[in-house]
Amino acid sequence: MDRLKETQLQSIDQFYSSLTDENISKDMYHHAQNVWQSFDIQNILEYSLLYMKTDIMLLTCIFENFRQKCRGTYGLDPAWYYTMPGYSWDAMLKYTGCKLELLQDIDKIMFIQKSIRGGISQVSNRYSEANNKYMPSYDSSKPSKYVVYLDVNNLYGWAMSQCLPYAKFEWVDTNIDVLSIPDDGDTGYILQVDLEYPEHLHDLHKDFPFCCEHQVPPGSNFKKLMTTLHNKTEYTLHYRNLKQALNAGLKLTKIHKVLKFQQSAWLKPYIDLNTKLRTAATTAFEKDLYKLANNAIFGKTMENIRKHRIVKLVSKWEGRYGAKNLISSPRFHNRTIFDENLMAIELNKTNLTFNKPLNIGMSILDISKVCMYDFNYNFMLPTVGIENLKLMYGDTDSFIYEVTCDDVYRDFIQTNLSKFDTSDYAEANPYNIPQVNKNVLGLMKDEANGRIITHFVGLRSKMYSFKLQYTNEERQTVWQKYKNTMDDAAIEKIVNNLGVTKKSKGVKYSVVKNSITFEDYVECLKEFTTKSVTQSTFRSYAHNMFTITQEKIALSPHDDKRCLQKDSYDTLPWGHYATTMIE
């Protein structure tokens, strides 16, 4: 409390944050001094109170603007809702007028639950260096190569715009011609089948096999979502995914079950509304609002009621409703002790009401994969050719490719504009690519916006890095921009990170930015070593805040989702004919 009585700001070096391993900039410190003088602050307490007042007033303005936007768009007041997903769900039902039928047969519910598989994330090939005419270091004696990072515009929004189930769920005979079912017909199906993955397809499909599944990789103890070339037994999937796999050459050997339903594009009007509003939005707040309004719908369809708990707050040990009785109950799940007189006890529910449309969520997940596989197998492979294409990395709605060609922008993007959103390209770009298809659902966007990716290294899922090409002049411009507001060491960090994207799931952004370099990724891959970091974070235990410092493995070359190859940065999927002896 003595710190609040201090009558002046500490020196700038006292504003170092161990959470981010950074100090504040000179601009930020000068702003703090200006606030102190302008409001005639007498001590740190007054400064803190001023901060809290302005923060609350700003938050109030933002929330009222949020309410106004939502009421004007959807006709509902979000102040009456606990969360944005709950609000979005009601707004969707109100706008579409669709009456959704819930499953009432436990066998159908379990059938759907077993078929839920999330987004695919994997490193297929681990290292690539570009070499093309747009690079100062171009070596014309070597093949012309590009590294291309593509991301789908609102993949789940596209999937939610397709025909989705809504009524009349019933088991039907397994004698069904899957390939004759139209994608946009009034009737859809979810099937449980056996599939054979012919060996002659293994090399063609090795980077991105069809029909992902939860399996325990060889040498692991945990199930992971993997794309394998194994034959599939009692595999449950949406009929559109099955059609796609069969057209790609997989063999259907048996149909075990077929669940039929009525379908239509009943959600499309709501998705289109938010997409249109997001395209017209002029602020980051509005863009995020309408994006969340769409994405929240998918989240509500995937809500797992089995995780719901009943929480009892108790202040005594004995008695019918005391802690002793509740802890001894077979429904007991967990407890949190706040103090000697207060405890929260979590109980499992005795009855579950399956009131969430999991069939919709499962369909959205499967149909989103249709988009990704269609782009890879029906566009990329025919356009570029298997000998010139290597899929480096994929993560739910994005691909990173190595493409061998003379000019990827001319031969690949410019000649196929209907497949791409190029609205973020500079109006005057060196490839003469026009700005078209802004925010069109399901189209691919160049995440580098025409800037050359020079290197890529992928260690495993959610752990990769790549570098963009920046000239010395651009780096010097950045240095000049910050030289009067930041110290040289801070500017050097910014310049060194310029154009470098680094991902390491579970490691704080500030730690990745300040403590890990692109060269660390390369070293981990080539030397097969790990890199650990130390990070600090806030943690809340029983509503008490603590600062935690932990050591964590940030980079690791060990990836059991795929079979690593000796003396190669390429990998193979499990089930490939070349991995038989290893498995």
Strands 187-196 and 232-238: antiparallel
Q: Is residue 158 one of the residues assigned to a domain?
A: no
Q: Is residue 546 one of the residues assigned to a domain?
A: yes
Q: Is residue 580 one of the residues assigned to a domain?
A: no
Q: Is residue 489 one of the residues assigned to a domain?
A: yes
Among residues 74, 94, 127, which one ends one of the domains? 74
Predicted TM-score (pTM) of the model is 0.92
Angstrom distance (rounded) from CA 132 to CA 404: 9
Cβ atoms 563, 571 nearer than 8 A: yes
Q: What is the CB neighbour count within 10 angstroms for residue 58?
A: 10
Angstrom distance (rounded) from CA 450 to CA 423: 11
Residue 142 Cα distances to 149, 155, 467, angstroms: 22, 36, 20
Q: Is residue 14 one of the residues assigned to a domain?
A: yes
Cβ atoms 191, 237 nearer than 8 A: yes
Q: Is residue 335 one of the residues assigned to a domain?
A: yes
Report the candidate in 239, 99, 105 with the shortest Cα–Cα distance to residue 167: 99
Give, for all 583 residues of the chain, the pLDDT tens digit: 788 888 899 898 888 888 888 888 888 999 999 999 999 999 999 999 999 999 999 999 999 999 999 999 999 999 999 999 999 999 999 999 999 999 999 999 999 999 999 999 999 999 999 999 999 999 999 999 999 999 999 999 999 999 999 999 999 999 999 999 999 999 999 999 999 999 999 999 999 999 999 999 998 889 999 999 999 999 999 999 999 999 999 999 999 999 999 999 999 999 999 999 998 998 898 999 999 999 999 999 998 888 899 999 999 998 888 999 999 999 999 999 988 899 999 999 999 888 899 999 999 999 999 999 999 999 999 999 999 999 999 999 999 999 999 999 999 999 999 999 999 999 999 999 999 999 999 999 999 999 999 999 999 999 999 999 998 888 898 888 888 878 788 888 888 889 999 999 999 998 999 899 999 999 999 999 999 999 988 888 777 888 889 999 999 999 999 999 988 999 999 999 998 767 6
Amino acid type, 374: D
State the residue range of the domain holding 485. Answer: 462-558
Q: Is residue 274 one of the residues assigned to a domain?
A: no
Among residues 26, 59, 74, which one ends one of the domains? 74
Among residues 291, 326, 348, which one ends one of the domains? 348
Count: domains in the chain: 3
Angle at which helices 44-74 and 284-301 cross, to 10°: 70
Q: Is residue 288 one of the residues assigned to a domain?
A: no
Structure tokens at 557: 């070359």
Supply the DSSP symbol for 24.
P
